[in-house]
Amino acid sequence: MLDALLERMGCTYSVYRKKKSSFPEVVVFVPSTRIPVQSDLQRMVKGVIPRDLADKLTSLRNQIVLIAEDTGGSAIAELRRALKEYLSVLIGLTKKEYGPEGLIDFKWKNLEDGRQDSSISNTWFEVLSSVHLMAMLTLSDADSLMIPKDPSGSGFRVVSSDSKREAIDLLLKASGYLEFCVRDVLTRIPAETKKTFPHDLQEGVLEAIAIQTLGQGTEIQLGLAVESQKATLSVKRRLACEQLIYFTQAYHCLSGCDINQGHGRKQIRFIKWKFLEAKAAAYYYHGLILDKGSEPSIHIGSVSCFLAAEELLAESKKACLSFCLAPPVTRAPPLWGAMKFLHQKIPEVASRKSQMYGYLWEQEKGLQSLPDLPEFQLSLRPDDYELPEIDPAWDSENWESLGQPLKEHLRDSDEHDENPTD
């Protein structure tokens, strides 16, 4: 019954049926995609900033809304362009000399169900949400690269090495956006305001996504190494161990978060699935390296590794099902990368080596322990991200049309505060 359910969910690894389904496939995990709610910003900023700036701010924000709603978020290039232009104008509102904080009530909603999840009068929250949207779009782009079209429905879909490398680049870029959110944006927002954030914007959640994204980049690298005749066992073991570390770190980031809201449950199950896969791969390659030794104790250690890898692989299948069933329901893709190879090799090698060294195993029964995996310096790092340059319109002559420009008014106010009269 479990196999039948797995097959229906797309979580089996030997069969891929040609079957239309409303459940999307997932290779790269994309948490909730949030988009702005259409708002009348002109009314909120009337008389405070020049009309041309107010019009541009409103137009760009509403353009993002329309593109996202009309395409379901699939027009990634257009949305990315609009977001970059919008951020260039938006950051003017973060400058004290241009606009007071709390001027606009920024509303956002979840793209999947259309429900509004926030309404916060803080410009840095709007910056955070916009950069977060850029990260989610970039993850979606990477996911699309890893799920090529399969018109035949055969399940034998080939992802080119160039597409895999491009997906890794996108993952590093997405991780950079998220790291920027944590390091440079959240630190500017008052703690009381952050308490009102939707759960998907919790600091630990953002950190976890940034780190697990690096783990997925390493997963693709491991797949490339498995396909390469030049990659050594040591290289493959290192990549598997690094992937394991990334997903371990991501899990710890969620330890203080409320994961029962938003996409929290889905995310934690994805991390567990990928953690188990990475650990199985790490023990398999560690076992192969130990097996090159000549001491009996070394062979016992290698058999322990192979048996552990086999058990972890079985656990990862269950974790896959748990991830697929967690709402919103999704399907895992057909086997790809390193797992396509390891789902065949691990049981085969574990069985063969257990028979080969069974007599040693019996002699040392109860004394053998699972060897420790080696520790490595992590290789992948998020790309650096910086906000775009502020739109030149903020320094336009149109400030004079407001009478006394707001920035002059604020400067005058500051001077009066510093030099009070008797």
Per-residue pLDDT at 257: 86
**Residue 409 scores a pLDDT above 50:** no
Mean predicted confidence (pLDDT) in 97-120: 82
pLDDT(419) > 70: no
Cβ contacts of 80-88, under 8 Å, gap ≥ 24: 80/134, 80/137, 80/138, 83/130, 83/133, 83/134, 83/137, 84/388, 85/60, 85/388, 86/57, 86/60, 86/61, 86/130, 87/127, 87/130, 87/131, 87/387, 87/388, 88/388, 88/389, 88/390, 88/391
The pLDDT of 80-104, averaged and rounded, is 85
Q: What is the pLDDT of residues 191-248, one digit of tens each?
A: 999 999 998 999 999 999 999 999 999 999 999 999 999 999 999 999 999 999 999 9
- Does the pLDDT of residue 413 top 80, yes or no? no
Q: How far apart are CA 93 and CA 144, in angstroms?
A: 35
User: How is the chain split into domains, by residue range?
Assistant: 30-145
Q: Choose between 132 and 405: higher pLDDT.
A: 132
Query: What confidence category does residue 140 fall into, taking pLDDT thresholds of 50, 70 and 90?
Result: very high
Reply yes or no: is the peptide bond before residue 328 cis, omega within 30 of 0.
yes
pLDDT digits (tens, 9 = 90+) for 277-298: 999 999 999 999 998 877 767 7
User: What residues are paired with 34 via a beta bridge?
Assistant: 110
Q: What is the mean pLDDT of the chain?
A: 85
The mean-pLDDT minimum among 135-149, 202-216, 398-412 falls in: 398-412
Q: Could you count the other beta carbons within 10 Å of the beta carbon of residue 135?
A: 26
Q: Which residue has the higher pLDDT, 313 or 364?
A: 313
Q: Residue 141 in contact with residue 112, Cβ under 8 Å? A: no
Q: What is the pLDDT of residue 23?
A: 86
Q: What is the predicted pLDDT for the residue at 398?
A: 60
Residue % of the chain over a pLDDT of 70: 82
User: Is a pLDDT exceeding 70 seen at residue 20?
Assistant: no
* Averaged pLDDT for residues 297-326: 92
| Amino acid 74: pLDDT | 86
In one-letter notation, the amino acid at residue 146 is M
What is the phi-psi region of residue 403: left when phi exceeds 0, alpha when psi lies from -120 to 50, beta otherwise? left
Indicate whether 361 pLDDT > 70: no
Length of the chain: 422
Q: Closest by alpha carbon to 98, among 391, 416, 305?
A: 391
Which of these ranges, 321-335, 365-379, 382-396, has the smallest mean pLDDT?
A: 365-379
Q: What is the pLDDT of residue 13?
A: 36
What is the rounded average pLDDT of the residues 120-145? 96
Q: Using one digit for the tens of pLDDT, what is the confidence trace for 209-218? A: 999 999 999 9
Q: Over the stretch 245-280, which tens digit does the pLDDT of each residue have?
A: 999 999 999 988 887 776 888 999 999 999 999 999
Structure confidence at residue 397 (pLDDT): 58
Supply the pLDDT for residue 44: 83
HSE-up (13 A, CA, CB side) for residue 185: 28
* Lowest mean pLDDT, pick from 14-18, 36-40, 73-77, 331-335: 14-18
Q: What is the pLDDT of residue 41?
A: 83
Pairwise pLDDT comparison (148 vs 361), residue with the higher score: 148
3-state secondary structure of 91: helix
Q: At what angle do helices 51-71 and 76-90 cross, to 10 degrees?
A: 160
Alpha carbon distance 332, 28 (integer Å): 10
Average pLDDT over residues 43-60: 85
Residue 312: is its pLDDT beyond 80? yes
Beta bridge partners of 119: 107
Angle between helices 203-227 and 264-290 (to 10 degrees): 40
